[in-house]
Amino acid sequence: MGRGLKGLVKKGLGEMDFTAGGGVINWFPGHMAAATRAIRQRLKVSDLVIEVRDSRIPLSSANADLQPQLLSKRRVIALNKKDLANPNIMHKWVSYFDSCKQDCIHINSHSKSSVQKLLELVELKLKEAISREPTLLVMVVGVPNVGKSALINSIHQIALSRYPAPDKLKRATVGPLPGVTQDIAGYKIAHQPSIYVLDTPGVLVPSIPDIETGLKLALAGSVKDSVVGEERIAQYLLAVLNLRGTPLRPPLEALEQQENGRDPV
């Protein structure tokens, strides 16, 4: 996002008293606090983490509080909802994460072939551990509404075709609103070695101090509209659309380009 847009956004947000009272967005229901504690404990014993982010906002859709712990784990960043993202920008994000020495792949959690490529990368990352561990634990984490549960369901379907089980595996609950999954559930997806995938609730940081990050998350559906205010979200979106002349889709990728001074484009 250029300086003109940044200035326009900050001016508009200032007029709406967005910064009054401190933190920009404070949406941290009780289940999120409990889930964050549980996730931290299970991360300690996980062999690999799939961190699901939104392809349109790969930086803003990261949970900043979990990043220090995730950096110490084997990790694959799955940029989900690639069908909604700008195809001209996606490969540049992969290059950006490659420069950070971080495995990254764009996926569509509803596409079997797309999820299959993710699993192949996961298996490659676990190759060394598979040779010495009889049981492996893969944890799926991410902020609300990035598509974790849909990904889990697709993984189940692939696992069932590979390793037929006598009992039907439970499907993860999927919904259009953030906060649908509120428990940590484990699912066995492979035998010899046994590989378990943990689906976790979407969790945010207790407070999002950056105005634009909060609005990007709201536009992507990771924060409930009512928390931010529909009018504020609409005003922010219209400011971006008017400046960029984009008539249809919200240009979230363009908003993301300037975040933290990092611009892959």
Asked if residue 219 lies in contact with residue 233, where contact means CB atoms within 8 angstroms, the answer is yes
Distance CA 106, CA 236 (A): 27
Residues 14 and 78 in one domain: no
- The predicted pLDDT at position 189 comes to 74
Is position 205 within any domain?
Answer: no
Cα angle 127-130-134, degrees, rounded to a multiple of 5: 175
Residues 72 and 126 in one domain: yes
- The predicted pLDDT at position 130 comes to 80
Distance CA 60, CA 260 (A): 10
Asked if residue 159 lies in contact with residue 152, where contact means CB atoms within 8 angstroms, the answer is no
- The predicted pLDDT at position 220 comes to 87
Residues 220 and 93 in one domain: no
Residues 146 and 238 in one domain: no
Is position 109 within any domain?
Answer: yes
Q: Which domain holds residue 252?
A: 3-26+210-259
Residue 191, domain CATH: 3.40.50.300
Residues 140 and 35 in one domain: yes
Residues 6 or more apart whose Cβ sits within 8 Å of residue 120: none
Q: In three state form, how does the secondary structure of 59-99 look?
A: CCCCCHHHHHHHCCCCEEEEEECHHHCCHHHHHHHHHHHHH
Burial annotation 100-131 (CB, 10 A radius, 16+ → b, else e)? eeebbbbbbbbeeebbeebbebbeebbeeebe
Distance CA 180, CA 218 (A): 16
Going by the annotation, the residues of the binding site are 80-83, 108-109, 202
Cite the DSSP H helix spans in the chain.
3-15, 30-43, 67-70, 87-99, 112-125, 127-130, 148-162, 211-219, 225-228, 230-244, 252-256
Going by the annotation, the residues of the binding site for GTP are 80-83, 108-109, 202
**Structure token digits, residue 164:** 């037929």
Using the 3D structure, point to which of 173, 198, 223 is the last residue of a domain: 198
The pLDDT tens digits along the chain (265 residues) read 445 555 555 555 554 444 433 345 555 555 677 888 888 988 998 999 999 999 999 999 999 999 999 999 999 999 999 999 988 888 899 999 999 999 999 999 999 999 999 999 998 898 888 878 888 899 999 999 999 989 988 988 887 777 665 444 444 444 444 444 445 567 777 777 778 888 888 888 877 777 778 888 888 888 877 777 788 888 878 877 776 655 554 455 655 665 544 544 3
Residues 226 and 177 in one domain: no
Residues 14 and 97 in one domain: no
Residues 16 and 58 in one domain: no
Is position 264 within any domain?
Answer: no
Residues 34 and 77 in one domain: yes
φ, ψ for residue 120 (rounded to 5)?
A: -65, -40
Residues 215 and 153 in one domain: no
Distance CA 113, CA 251 (A): 27
- The predicted pLDDT at position 11 comes to 55
Using the 3D structure, point to which of 198, 223, 238 is the last residue of a domain: 198
Residues 179 and 244 in one domain: no
Name the domain count of the chain: 2
- The predicted pLDDT at position 173 comes to 47
Is position 90 within any domain?
Answer: yes
Using the 3D structure, point to which of 174, 198, 222 is the last residue of a domain: 198
Is position 265 within any domain?
Answer: no
Amino acid at 45: V
**Tokens 């933190």 appear where?**
23
- The predicted pLDDT at position 199 comes to 83
Is position 49 within any domain?
Answer: yes
Is position 204 within any domain?
Answer: no
Asked if residue 76 lies in contact with residue 104, where contact means CB atoms within 8 angstroms, the answer is yes
Is position 253 within any domain?
Answer: yes
- The predicted pLDDT at position 164 comes to 61
Distance CA 78, CA 146 (A): 10
Residues 227 and 180 in one domain: no
